[in-house]
Every structure is written in C-alpha cells, then in structure tokens.
Amino acid sequence: MVVPLYHVLAFAGLLFTIGVLGVLFRRSAIIVFMSVEIMLNAVNLAFIAFSRYHGDVNGQVFVFFIMTLAAAEVAVGLAIIISLYRNLRTSDISEIRLMKH
Amino acid sequence: MADTLYLITLFPLLGFLINGLLGRWLSEKQSGLVASGAILGSFLVSAQLLLALIALPEGERLFTQNLFAWIPVGELSIPIGYRFDPLSAVMTLVVSGVGLLIHIYSIGYMHADPGIRRYFAFLNLFTFMMLSLVLADNLVLMFLGWEGVGLCSYLLIGFWFEDEAKARAGMKAFIVNRIGDAGFIIAMILLYDQFGTLSISKIAAAAPGAQLAQGFFTAVTLLMFLGATGKSAQIPLYVWLPDAMAGPTPVSALIHAATMVTAGVYLIARNSVLFSLAPATMSIVAFIGILTALYAATIAITQNDIKKVLAYSTISQLGYMFTAVGVGAFSAGIFHLMTHAFFKGLLFLGAGSVIHSMNGEQDMGRMGGLKNHMPTTHWTMLIGVLAIAGIPGLSGFFSKDEILWGAFSQHEGFSWIWLLGVVTAGLTAFYMFRLFFRTFYGDPVWEGTQKPHESPSVMTLPLVLLAFLSIFGGYVGIPAALGGSNPFHHFLEPVLASYPVHSTAAPHTTYRLELLLMLVSTLVVAGGIYYAYRVYIQQPSLAEDLAKRLGLLYRLSFNKYFVDEIYDRLIIKPFRMLATVTWEWFDVQIVDGAVNGSGHAVARMSGIVRKIQNGLIQHYASIILLGVIFILIYIYFD
Amino acid sequence: MDTFEILVALIKVVAVFVAVILAVMVMTLAERRVAGFIQYRHGPNRVGPWGFLQPVADGIKFLLKEDIIPANVNLPIYLLAPAITMIPALTTFAVIPFGAPLEVAGRTVQLQVANINIGLLYILALTSVGVYGLVLAGWSSGSKYPLLGGLRSSAQLISYELAMGLAIIGVVMVSGGLTFNEIIAHQQATSWNFWKQPIAALVFLVAMYAETNRLPFDLTEAEQELVGGYHTEYSSFKFAMFFLSEYANMVTASAFMVCLFFGGWDIPFVDETQMGAWGVVLSVLVFIAKIGFFLFLYIWVRWTFPRFRYDQLMRLGWKVLLPLGLVNIFLVGLWMALKV
Amino acid sequence: MTAILFYIFATFLLAASLFVVLNRNPIYSVVALVFAFMNLAAMYFLLEAYFIGILQVLVYAGAIMVLFLFVVMLLNVQPDQPRPGLIHFDRWWYGLMGLIFVGLFLVLIGEGARLLLTSPAGEAVQIGGVDSVGEALFTHFLLPFEIASLLLTVALVGTVFLAKRRV
C-alpha cells in the first residue's frame, strides 16, 4: 500500500470533522444535509482504506450498502425539505422548530 | 403411548376456547355438545391410557410427557410436563368421568339460562385446570392447576353475579382459599430451597435419603396441609364451602363435591413420601380430619337447606379422607375419594333434579312426598343415600370401612379416632336419611299449583349412571377380610408411600377383628337410619320435640356453631379496622404523598431539562456530539 | 513505464483528441450538407472545395466574435458550465478501442488510450457528470429559458440513462466483461451483438439520441419553445464549447453503439490479425466507417422526425424503453440459463 | 507517484469540503461537493477500489448530487445573509464542542494509527474489481442486497408521496 493507512484515516477523520462542523453550524437545511453526506463519505473512505489494507472485499461491500442507503436517504430527506419549504417558506433549520410548541 | 397424554388437557382447553371465544355463534345445544364432547375426548383418552397402563408390569406403570419448557429461569426449568401413573390415572378418570356426566346433566339443568355458553366455557376451563393439577409432574404446574380450579370455582360460585350474595360467596371462597394457597407457596419455596427442584418425583426420590431436620419436613408438610385445608374445606378454613352452594347445582356436584375439594387429599397422596417423613404432621392431619368429619356431621343434622346438608356432608366426608391419609392409609383415602365422587355427585345431581322440578326451591321444609312425582330421582337418590351411609354392598361401605380399619389398626392409641369415625358414620346415616325422608316421603308441603315433575332424560341418565357407579364402584377394592383381593389398593401401592402399620396380630386374627369392626359400624349406621325413620316418618312431631329439648345444642348446630360470626369478630373486623387506618393514614399520607411528590419532582425537573429541548435540530445534534465526545474520551483513557 | 510506453500513450492521446475534433468539424459541415441534400437544396458550398473549409471559417468566427456576458449571470458557474460539459465529452473516448492491436517493435499496442477494467462504467459515470454542465449552464444564466432547458435536459438525461444502462447490461451478460476489448473479442468469436440482442440495440439507439440531446429528443434546446435552451445566453467561444461537446458526444455515442452491438473495429468474415499492419489500418477504417454510418443516421433522423412533446418523451423513456430493457435482460437471462 | 497523487486529491477533497461548509451560496456548495466527490473517487481508484470509485462518480456525483442541485434550484435558495456578530451566542458552545471533538478525534486517529502501524501491511490483492465485489454481493451479502433494493423502492414511494403537491 503506497499511502500509509493512518494517513488515509487521518484524511477520513478530518473530512468527518468538517462534516460535523457543517452540520452544527450551517443554517440552511440543504447544506446541513450535504454535510451529512460528507460525513458518510468520510466513513466510506475509512472503509475503503481498511478494505485495501486487509485485502478484504467486505469493506467495499459495506461502502456499496452505505451508498444505497445514502441514495434513499437523500431522496427522502430532500423530499422532506421540499415539503417543509412548501409549508413554511423557509429552509433555515433554526426557524423550523415546530416541535417546540 | 404417552404421546397422547397432552390430549387429555388439550380437549377441555379447546372446548373452553371454542365456547369462550366463539360462544356467541353457537346455539345453546351446540355449546353443550362442544363442552361435553371435549370432556368425552379427555375421558376416552385417559381410559385408553389407563388400559395401556394396566397392561404394563407393576412397577413400570408410568407415562410421562414433557411438552415444552414453561418457565426457564437460570438453573430452574419448569416444564409443562405430565405424569400418568396409577394415582393420577384414577384421578383423571374420576375427574373426566364424573365431569362428563355432570356436563351432560348441565345441558338439561342450565337449559335456557342466558349465560349458558359462559357456563360451559368455565366448566371446561375448570376441567382443564383440574386435569392439569392431577397430571402435573411438578409442583408449579400443579399450583397452576390448583389456582386455576380456585379461579373457576370463584367464577362459577358467582355465576349468577347479579345476585350480590352469590357474588360475595364467590369472593369468600376465593379469599379463604388464598390463605391456604399462601401455605402451599411457602412450602414450594422451602422445597426448592432444599432440593433445587420442584419436580414431584425428584423430590420424592431425594427426600428419604436427605439429611434434613425432622422439623423441615414437618414444616413443609404442615404448610402443604394448610393449602389442603383451604382447598378441601377442613377446619379451620371450611367456611367457604357451605356458601359455595350459591353456584349452580351441577357446579356444586362437580367442583364442590366430586373433584376440586378433593385436591387437598390428592396433594397429600401425591406427596405421600414427604408426609410419611413427618409423623407429627400425619397426626395433625388425622386429628383435623376426624374432627372436621364429626363437626360437620353435627351441623348437617339440623340444616334445612338441601344443598347445605349436602355441603356439610361433603366437608364431613372430606374429613374422612384426611383421616385416612393422616393415618397413612393413603390408598383408602383415594378409594373413598373415588367412591365419594360417585355417590356425592349422584346426591348433588339428585338434589339438583329436585330443585329443578321445584323451580329453585331448596328448603326441605317445603318439600315432601316427591317420591311418586319423581320416581327415577327417588330411586337413584336412595342408592346414593345408602351408599354414603355405608350400607354393606354399596361402594361407600368398602371405602369407609377401609378408612375405619386403617384408623383402628394404625396405633393402639388411635382407636379413639375409630370411635369418632363410627359415631360420625351413625350421624351421617341419620342426617342423610333425614334429608331423604323429608324430601321424598311424608305429606307434600310445597305450595303453588304446579306439580313437580320428573326431570328430562338428559338429567336422569347421569343419575342412573352415577347410581350404578355408586353401587359397583366399590367392588374394585373389596378388602381381604371379606375375601376380596383389593386390586385398587395394589394398583395404587407403587406410587404411595408405605406408612408403617403397627399391627401385632397375625393376619387371620386381624381379619376377624376387621369383620367385627365392620359389624359394629354397620349396626351403628342401621341405628342411625332407624332413628331417622322414627323421627321423620313414624312421628314427625318428634323432630320439634327433640329440637326443643336439646335447646342450646340444637341452636349451636343450627347456627353452625357461630363460626362465621366468630371469624367476623376475631379476624375480619380487626382486619378491616387495620385496613381503614392504613388507608386513611398510610396510603393517603405516605404512599400518595410519595407518588404525588415524585410526580411533582419529575415535573419540576423536566421543567429544567425541557430547556434543552428547544426545537433546534443543531442543538440536538450538538448533544449527540457531546455523547460522542464522552465515548471518545472513554476510549482514549480506557 | 518506460519511454516507449509514455511515447505511445502520448501519441494515442493526441491522435484520439485530434480525431475527435476533426470528426466534429466534419460533422458540422456534414450536418448542413446532408440537410441540404434531404431538403433538396444546396448546403454551404462556398468556402473551399465543396465547402470543406466551412468548419474552419465557423471556428474562426466563434473565436473572433464578441463574448457577451449578460448582467444577471452567476459568473463563476456561468464560466464553469461549458468546461464541465466539454471535459466528459472529450474524455469518454479514451476507453474506446478504435482498431485491432498493433505490433510495433515486438510489443503489442492496444489502439485505445486507456484499457481500464471497467470501461463501460467509466463511460456511464462520465455521461452522468455531463449533466452538470447543462444544468449549471441553464441555472447560472439567470434567465428563464435556459433554466427550463437545463431542468428539462437533466431530467431527460437521468431518465434515459436508466434505459441505456439496462440495454448495456444485456450485452455485459453475454460477453461476461466490462471492458470494450472483452466485448469486441466476444463479438469476434461469435457474432455481433446486434443479431443476438436487437431489442437492446433498439433501446440503446433511442436512448443514445436522448442522451446526446438530438432530435427527436432535443427538448433541451427546442428552438421554437426555449429560444436556444440552456445555451441561450452563451455566445462566442463558450457557445462553441457547447457546440463542440454536443458533436463530440455524438461521435462517442456512435462509437459506443458500434462497439457494443456492431463488433467495434471488427470486420466481418475477415481475420484482421492475419494481415499484419494493413489489417490494423483496415480495422481502423472499418471502425470509422461504422461510426460514420451512425453519425449519418443522426443527421438523417434529425431532418426526418418531428420533435417529441416533453410528456411523450418521459412516457417513452419510463413506460416503453425501461420495461423493454428489463424484458431484454430477462430474455437474455432465460437464454443463458437454457443454453447452459 | 501514486502517493503524491493521493495527497493532491486528498488536499483537494478537504479544501472542497471546507468550501462546502464555509461558503454562503448553496449552489457553490453543491458544485464544490461534486468536485470533492470526484476527488474522493480518484482516491478510491488509487486505493484500488475501482468499482466503488466508479460508483462514487455514478451514484454520488452523478445522481445524488444532481438531486441536491435540483432542490437548490427548485427552492431558489438564496445565499445566507451574514448576521451581526462574529459568533452567535447560541452557537458558541457548539463551536467549543466541535473543537473538543476535532482535537479528540485527531488524537484518537493518532492513537489508532500507532496500533495499526505495528501490525503487518496487507498484501496487494486484486479485490477492487466488479467481479470480486459483485461476487461478495451476490453470495454472502445477497439478503442485505435484496433488502437494500427494497429500501430503495420504499424510498422512491416515500419521496413521491412527500414531494407531490397536496391533492
């Protein structure tokens, strides 16, 4: 393996952290959602790295399933955002707090 | 062969489910047929199994079947396991056989009652529970049946729950039984603690060799006996049984005469090994038994309600059975249990037939002269009365005399038990014929224009069959003294403990002695019958005379020695006061205070915590992150 | 990787690039000439002999024209969009083999820029990226016609990509490989996939037209409705880039079609390997000829069929081609199961 | 060569991701994210996960992100308006936690890497192709695979239901 495993993992970790920060700080629901995707991809990267490192295909299979899941999740999530937007005329999640009342 | 064992309980359970769940779509007739058919199924299966059992060589007569693990908890695993040995075989056949006849009888008796489907459902459930009790291989399953029959008894006593007195009678039965059940439970816990198992056969196998204090067995068996006194209506917990007559008469016949009340006797016989290891308990059992027998007989003499008489008679006969098991004559106890199931079932059903034709009248003072109106009932009742009185040749005679002989031969010092037994036999003959004469002979004192009529054949057929059994049921146990071989005794012998018999005399001399004792008791019985004839047929005025002359004694007997009132004063009233105090002070102040206080505390706390829940998704996400941080810190420092 | 390989790779890259650009140039001319032929008129025939230099003149015109950037545009995206469209269009050709393997100095040279083991997926992936160019161009123009065109085109591309993928799966199933070399080798060994899977070929052909936004599916442009579709607001060289990538896409799609269903560079009934270098040259020419046929078909169809309505387009994609593709897969599976 | 390419791609990836999170215009975010995913795909290729790499382009860049782009266009989301104050009061403690998290995470990666470095490197086996992943998917993971297809169907139906206008 040309690149040391822990370098890949460090990149994955940084990517994950960026995603976390995006989820925490952004107000736009769409950006938050994209940050979630970043987090998922960080995990995928770690999976691929481990798969390569251990010579085991299961990690890649896992990534495959995560992608499937992400596709489903994005479709449903975006549909939710659309219907929220349709009802509240906003996609700012700091203003979407109906559950509080 | 044992594969079909589960069918015995399955049929009544199915019957219960069909009648209980689908009852509303069944006609009255279908409901009765389903219920009776279920019991018939059980009866046929058990009869077939009994034949198979007899075909086996003695000593190997045992079928077992484990259906599934019911309560697996750690090392303790309680299976739904059935055990079919001679003892449970006898019980199963009695329960399903007599049960079948009573189910059929009920079709006629409960005709046109709006709750008939419920009635049959309960009756099937009862049979299921009773058979579970009888077949159970472990004490917990037995206890399930034990409680189950108690529940059904409660449900059926209070079957006409619109009548508050009847509902209360059910309640009373239930509560009194609870006291005894507590004893049973504690006994089970003690046994499990000591033996690590609740399997009856394993305990029985382990008990004789166990190095345990005498006191342990005495305690366990006494607690079990407490349970038995509750279920089988012995002193001091007999008070519920007379009130239980509030239920439909077939119920009284099945539950409160033939089967459930004998469960206590069965319990002791089933655990005969344990009891035989506790001589002190045995003495107490015998003592309580004979005392109950005599005591209940003295009450029965003065009662006017036909069912009450039979109820006290049942208590008295149960006392006989306890006497039998108490003196170690276990098989005699079971023998009497069986014959009693026949003739007492017959008597109750006969009484039910009378009540049915009298439109619910139960007071003997308003009967009389029914002989010609109800010939079948009359003749079958006569057989029943003769059987219970112990006239030679009928089943009651053999079983009762086996008990008396057992009591006499047990210890030299125990012959006073025999004496009391003979006295009770005389009293029994007297009050049973009192009942018989007052009901069927003399001048009709019933009011109204409607004439009593014979019951339909669906009711008289069981009467005839039971009468048949009452005559010939005893022939399976003809004692050696009368030239028989007592096959019943030998059949049961392997599963019952042998309690040492202290008899010094040689067999042929004891035979002679036994014959002599039989003669004595028969004479006493004949005397009782004659006296009843004198008082109630020849000189009807004599009855009132006697009542006046005996004054205090008569009032005591008539009012059942005021035991209910004494219990009320000594136990119920103080208990109620205690309950009131605990309710008004402890419950309201402490318990409710704690509950409300914790509610307020939670509300106040959540008021604080609620601020976290501000509807901001990112806020929640950050709290998740906090959790992740904690996990990371933990991983790092781990 | 030695000098030879690097050299060969460089030559191949340049050659393919030049070839594609050349093909595009020829196409722009051919389109108009064939149109003229079909409509019984002359096409452009003044610049150079028979108008052959017309594409050059067009190119010079595009380069020299004033580059107008409307005021409402989102500049970064507006500039990025043509590039995004162009890159996939030019790079997809990399995995397509354009001739029989060549023996040079004792080494075998694959006439193919890159032989990666998932060539088909590579093309599909790049095609799907191409969508961004159109959508972003439409959106960033800040005007409604381009936006509509962009949205239409992305929906259209995504819809037809499914049908296309399903058609490809049938081919992959029989040839048992995802590289073009394997697919072509399989067709050489047996027969062209077109004969074995006409349904798939038909589905692929239709999807191909939709994927390249050509008539009868050119709803992204639809001059009469949307002025110019997603590139309405583009002019000068940026417009040329869209133009270029559209034609490049057509070339690639034709090549794709040829490789999948018509044996690639394979000459029927002839064994190229026996003929040495001439065989290779011949195979390249045959490949070009086959591509030329499908490019001609593109033009032919364009001037023959009317444009579909948008709902008809969607219905065709989802309710006809998609089920047909599935049926094809099922039939192929059945056939394979029965054969084995 | 491969390693250098890897680090270049990784840098692009991180930069693009940061851009996604930091800039205010959702469209830029989407484009940056597509770019990031392309880089990620390239990294997968370098890690010899060819099939997954292609899927990354095909599924993530090609399909999922198009959805994002669609929604951004559909809602016509405007760039976030900057708010007064550098740090908003209700958010400073998110920041604090984020920082703690970043720190801990990096430390943990270092720790974990030290453990991993002591273990032997994996052999270079060809596992990234369609054949090996496909074989694993259709044998050992067949049931999850089928369930995933079911999940997609459910998501499809759910999406249509959620997104359609109230009838």
The SS3 call for residue B145 is helix
Report yes or no: C124 and C161 within 8 Å, Cβ to Cβ.
yes
Regarding predicted confidence, which is higher, D88 or B463? B463
- Taking residues D73-83, report their average pLDDT: 68
Report yes or no: B8 and B131 within 8 Å, Cβ to Cβ.
yes
Q: List phi, psi (to 5°) of B137.
A: -95, -15
Nearest CB to D108; choose among B622, B626, B635: B635
Per-residue H/E/C for B33-96: HHHHHHHHHHHHHHHHHHHHHHHCCCCCCCEEEEEEEEEEECCEEEEEEEEECHHHHHHHHHHH
The Cα–Cα gap between D14 and D20 comes to 10
- D119: Cβ–Cβ under 8 A, 6 or more apart, which residues? none
> Looking at the predicted structure, is the pLDDT value of residue C141 above 60?
yes
Residues of D71-109 as b/e, b for ≥16 C-beta within 10 angstroms? bbbebebeeeeeeeeeeeeebeebeebbeebbebbeebb
The Cα–Cα gap between A46 and D109 comes to 11
Report yes or no: B285 and B325 within 8 Å, Cβ to Cβ.
yes
The Cα–Cα gap between B471 and D96 comes to 96
Query: Does D130 contact C at CB distance below 8 Å?
Result: yes
Q: Quick one: CA dihedral B419, B257, B243, B373, positive or negative?
A: negative
Query: Does D111 contact A at CB distance below 8 Å?
Result: no
> Looking at the predicted structure, is the pLDDT value of residue B448 above 80?
no
Q: Per mean pLDDT, which of B146-155, C78-87, D62-71 is the most reliable?
A: B146-155
Confidence of residue C224 (pLDDT cuts 50, 70, 90): low
- Taking residues B111-130, report their average pLDDT: 90
The CA distance from B610 to the nearest CA of chain A, in Å, is 10
Picking from B493, B2, B497, B489, the residue whose alpha carbon sits closest to that of residue B205 is: B497
Restricting to D residues 134-153, those with a Cβ less than 8 Å away from any Cβ of A are 136-137, 140-141, 144, 148, 151-152
Picking from C245, C296, C294, the residue whose alpha carbon sits closest to that of residue C127 is: C245
Q: What is the pLDDT of residues C255-275, one digit of tens each?
A: 888 888 888 777 777 776 677
Q: What is the pLDDT of residues B257-294, one digit of tens each?
A: 888 899 999 999 998 888 888 888 888 898 899 999 99
Q: What is the pLDDT of residues A52-72, one digit of tens each?
A: 877 788 888 899 999 999 999
- Taking residues B561-585, report their average pLDDT: 80
Judge: B617–A25 Cβ closer than 8 Å, yes or no.
no
Please give the single-letter amino acid code of residue B428.
T
> Looking at the predicted structure, is the pLDDT value of residue D117 above 50?
yes
The residue whose two tokens read 């997603």 is C230
> Looking at the predicted structure, is the pLDDT value of residue B502 above 50?
no
Report yes or no: C15 and C280 within 8 Å, Cβ to Cβ.
no
List CB contacts (< 8 A) between D2 and chain C. Answer: none
Contact between chain D and chain B (3 or more Cβ pairs less than 8 Å apart): yes
Confidence of residue A101 (pLDDT cuts 50, 70, 90): low
DSSP assignment of B374-442 equals: -HHHHHHHHHHHHHHHT-TTSHHHHHHHHHHHHHHHH-GGGHHHHHHHHHHHHHHHHHHHHHHHHHHSS
> Looking at the predicted structure, is the pLDDT value of residue B547 above 80?
no
Which one of D100, D107, D109 would you mutate to disrupt binding with B, by most B Cβ within 10 Å of its Cβ? D100
Our measurement of the distance from residue D84's CA atom to the centroid of its chain's CA atoms, rounded to an integer in Å, reads 32
List CB contacts (< 8 A) between B615 and chain A. Answer: 97-101
The Cα–Cα gap between B126 and D47 comes to 73
The residue whose two tokens read 């005379």 is B545
The Cα–Cα gap between B172 and B149 comes to 15
Regarding predicted confidence, which is higher, B254 or A96? B254
Poorest-pLDDT segment among B63-72, B108-117, C99-108, C255-264: C99-108
Q: Residue B612: closest CA among chain A residues belongs to which residue?
A: A100
Which one of C77, C162, C173, C326 would you mutate to disrupt binding with D, by most D Cβ within 10 Å of its Cβ? C77
Q: What is the pLDDT of residues C148-190, one digit of tens each?
A: 888 888 788 888 888 888 888 888 888 887 888 888 888 888 8
The CA distance from D23 to the nearest CA of chain C, in Å, is 14
Judge: D111–B629 Cβ closer than 8 Å, yes or no.
no
- The pLDDT value recorded for residue D85 is 45
Q: What is the largest CA-CA distance in chain D?
A: 62
Q: Quick one: CA dihedral D67, D68, D74, D75, positive or negative?
A: positive
Question: Which residue ranges make up each domain of chain C?
Answer: 70-339
A interface with B, Cβ–Cβ < 8 A, is: 20, 23-25, 32, 93-94, 96-101
- B278: Cβ–Cβ under 8 A, 6 or more apart, which residues? B214, B217, B218, B220, B221, B222
Pairing, β C107-111 against β C99-104: antiparallel
Query: Does B633 contact D at CB distance below 8 Å?
Result: yes
Report yes or no: B161 and B105 within 8 Å, Cβ to Cβ.
no
Please give the single-letter amino acid code of residue C178.
L
Residues of C317-340 as b/e, b for ≥16 C-beta within 10 angstroms? beeebbebbeebbeebeeeeeeee
Q: Which residues pair with B136 in a beta bridge?
A: B82
> Looking at the predicted structure, is the pLDDT value of residue D167 above 50?
no
Query: Does D92 contact C at CB distance below 8 Å?
Result: no
- The pLDDT value recorded for residue B41 is 92
Which one of B618, B619, B636 would you mutate to disrupt binding with A, by most A Cβ within 10 Å of its Cβ? B618
- Taking residues B552-575, report their average pLDDT: 78
The residue count of chain C comes to 340
- The pLDDT value recorded for residue B92 is 92
Poorest-pLDDT segment among B526-530, C298-302, D127-131: D127-131
Judge: B636–D100 Cβ closer than 8 Å, yes or no.
no
Contact between chain C and chain A (3 or more Cβ pairs less than 8 Å apart): no
Q: Which residues pair with B412 in a beta bridge?
A: none
The residue whose two tokens read 């009855």 is B543
Report yes or no: B315 and B292 within 8 Å, Cβ to Cβ.
yes
Q: What is the largest CA-CA distance in chain A?
A: 55
Judge: D94–B636 Cβ closer than 8 Å, yes or no.
no
The SS3 call for residue C150 is helix
Please give the single-letter amino acid code of residue B224.
M
Report yes or no: B433 and B320 within 8 Å, Cβ to Cβ.
no
Regarding predicted confidence, which is higher, B599 or D112? B599
The Cα–Cα gap between D127 and D47 comes to 10
Peptide bond into B540 cis (omega under 30): no
Judge: A96–B625 Cβ closer than 8 Å, yes or no.
no
Q: What is the pLDDT of residues B208-233, one digit of tens each?
A: 877 777 788 899 999 999 999 989 88
Question: Which residue ranges make up each domain of chain D?
Answer: 1-78, 129-167
Residues of C181-213 as b/e, b for ≥16 C-beta within 10 angstroms? bbbbebbbeeebbbebbebbbbbbbbbbbbbbb
Regarding predicted confidence, which is higher, B210 or B57? B57
> Looking at the predicted structure, is the pLDDT value of residue B79 above 70?
yes
Judge: D20–A38 Cβ closer than 8 Å, yes or no.
yes
- The pLDDT value recorded for residue D87 is 44
Regarding predicted confidence, which is higher, C111 or D119? C111
Assign residue B424 a region (left: φ > 0; alpha: ψ between -120 and 50; beta: otherwise).
alpha
The CA distance from A66 to the nearest CA of chain D, in Å, is 10
List CB contacts (< 8 A) between D46 and chain A. Answer: 2-3
Complex ipTM: 0.71
Q: Where are the beta strands (DSSP E) in chain C?
A: 99-104, 107-111
Confidence of residue D86 (pLDDT cuts 50, 70, 90): very low
Peptide bond into C216 cis (omega under 30): yes
- Taking residues D6-35, report their average pLDDT: 88
Nearest CB to D52; choose among A17, A64, A83: A64
Per-residue H/E/C for A36-91: HHHHHHHHHHHHHHHHHHHCCCHHHHHHHHHHHHHHHHHHHHHHHHHHHHHHHCCC
Poorest-pLDDT segment among B82-96, B372-386, C277-291, D86-100: D86-100
- The pLDDT value recorded for residue B43 is 93
Judge: A24–B618 Cβ closer than 8 Å, yes or no.
yes
To the question of domain D1-78 being in CATH 1.20.120.1200, the answer is yes
- Taking residues B352-376, report their average pLDDT: 83
Regarding predicted confidence, which is higher, B211 or B324? B324
Nearest CB to B618; choose among D94, D100, D111: D94
- Taking residues B16-28, report their average pLDDT: 88
Confidence of residue B135 (pLDDT cuts 50, 70, 90): very high
- The pLDDT value recorded for residue B316 is 92
> Looking at the predicted structure, is the pLDDT value of residue D121 above 80?
no
- The pLDDT value recorded for residue B120 is 92
> Looking at the predicted structure, is the pLDDT value of residue B2 above 60?
yes
Which one of B612, B630, B632 would you mutate to disrupt binding with D, by most D Cβ within 10 Å of its Cβ? B632
Confidence of residue B62 (pLDDT cuts 50, 70, 90): confident
| Cα end-to-end span (Å), chain A | 55
Confidence of residue B514 (pLDDT cuts 50, 70, 90): confident
Residues of C47-67 as b/e, b for ≥16 C-beta within 10 angstroms? eeeebeebbeebbeebeeeee
Taken in order of first residue, the domains within chain A and their CATH numbers are 5-90 (1.10.287.3510)
DSSP assignment of B468-532 equals: HHHHHGGGGG--GGGT---HHHHHHGGGSPPPPP---S-HHHHHHHHHHHHHHHHHHHHHHHHHH
Q: What is the mean pLDDT of chain B?
A: 85
Judge: D107–B625 Cβ closer than 8 Å, yes or no.
no
- C233: Cβ–Cβ under 8 A, 6 or more apart, which residues? C70, C73, C78, C141, C142, C143, C146
Token pair in block for residue B265? 């006797």
Cα B103 to Cα B629, C54, D13: the distances in Å are 71, 110, 84
- Taking residues B578-594, report their average pLDDT: 82
- Residue D127: how many CA atoms within 13 Å on its side-chain side? 21
The CA distance from A23 to the nearest CA of chain B, in Å, is 7
Which one of D23, D40, D130 would you mutate to disrupt binding with C, by most C Cβ within 10 Å of its Cβ? D130
- The pLDDT value recorded for residue B46 is 92
DSSP assignment of C44-90 equals: S-SSSGGGTTHHHHHHHHHHHS-----TTS-HHHHHHHHHHHHHHHH
- The pLDDT value recorded for residue A22 is 84
- B331: Cβ–Cβ under 8 A, 6 or more apart, which residues? B488, B489, B492, B493, B496
Query: Does D102 contact A at CB distance below 8 Å?
Result: yes
> Looking at the predicted structure, is the pLDDT value of residue C287 above 60?
yes
Token pair in block for residue B64? 């077992």
Percent of chain C scored above 70 by pLDDT?
95
Report yes or no: C217 and C301 within 8 Å, Cβ to Cβ.
no
Q: At what angle do helices C236-261 and C3-38 cross, to 10 degrees?
A: 100
- The pLDDT value recorded for residue D113 is 62
